[in-house]
Structure 1
Amino acid sequence: MESTSDPAAFADTWLIIPCFNEATVIGEVIANARKTFPNIVAVDDGSADGSAEQIHAAGAHLVRHPVNLGQGAAIQTGVEYARAQPGSRFFVTFDADGQHQVKDVVAMVGRLRREDLDIIVGTRFGRARSADDQVPLLKRIVLKTVVALSARTRRLGLTDAHNGLRAFDRKVAEELNLRMNGMSHASEFVALMDERDWKVSEHPVDILYTEYSMSKGQSLFNGVNILADELLARRLP
Structure 2
Amino acid sequence: MTAANSDVWLVVPVYNEGPVIREVMTDAARTFPNIVCVDDGSRDDSAAEIKASPARLVQHPVNLGQGAAIQTGVEYARAQPGAAFFVTFDADGQHQVDDVVAMIDRLRTEPLDIVVGTRFADGRSESVPLIKRIVLRTVVMLSFRTRRLGLSDAHNGLRAFNKTVADDLDIRMNGMAHASEFVALIDHHKWRVAEQPVTILYTDYSRAKGQSLINGVNILADGMLHGRRR
Query: What are the residue-to-residue correspondences of 1:66-215 with 2, within 5 Å?
Result: 66-129=61-124, 134-215=127-208
Cα 1:22–1:192 shift into 2, 3 Å = same
Deviations 1:145-191 (A, max 9, x none): 00001000000000000000000000000000000001110000000
TM-score (norm 2): 0.97
Deviations 1:180-225 (A, max 9, x none): 0011100000000001100000000000000001112432222211
**In the alignment, what sits opposite 1:3?**
none
In the alignment of these two chains, the number of paired residues is 230
> Which of 43, 59, 62 is equivalent to 1:48?
43
Does the 8 Å CA contact 2:180/2:227 hold for their aligned counterparts?
A: no
The alignment-based identity, stated in percent, is 69
Q: Deviations over 1:59-112 (max 9, x none)?
A: 211000000000000000000000000000000000001000000000000000
Q: What does 1:8-87 align with in structure 2 at a 5 Å threshold?
A: 8-87=3-82
Give me the whole-angstrom Cα distance separating, in 2, the residues matched to 1:95 and 1:114. Answer: 25
Moved over 3 A (4+): 234-237
Matched residue SS, 2:122: coil
Q: Structure 2 stretches of 5 or more lacking a match?
A: none
User: Do the aligned partners of 2:139 and 2:227 also contact (CA within 8 Å) in 1?
Assistant: no
Q: Secondary structure at the match of 2:52?
A: helix
Matches of 1:218 and 1:53 in 2, distance apart? Answer: 25
The residue type paired with residue 178 of structure 1 is I
* Alignment deviations for residues 115-155 of structure 1 (CA, whole Å, 9 cap, x no partner): 0000000000111238xx61000000000000001000000
Moved more, 121-130 or 67-76: 121-130
Partner Cα separation in structure 2 for residue 235 and residue 160 of structure 1: 16
TM value normalised by structure 1:
0.94
Once the two structures are TM-superposed, the CA of residue 234 in structure 1 deviates from its matched residue by 5.0
Closer/same/farther in 2, CA of residues 235 and 103 from structure 1, 3 Å limit: closer
For residue 235 of structure 1, report the CA deviation from its aligned partner: 7.3
Q: Counterpart of 2:30 in structure 1: which amino acid?
A: K
RMSD (Å) for aligned C-alpha atoms: 1.3
CA distance in 2, matches of 1:182, 1:134: 24
Q: Bigger CA drift: 156-165 or 224-233? A: 224-233
- For 1:164 and 1:41, the matched residues in 2 are separated by 16
Q: What is the CA–CA distance in structure 2 between the aligned matches of 1:235 and 1:221, rounded to whole Å?
A: 22
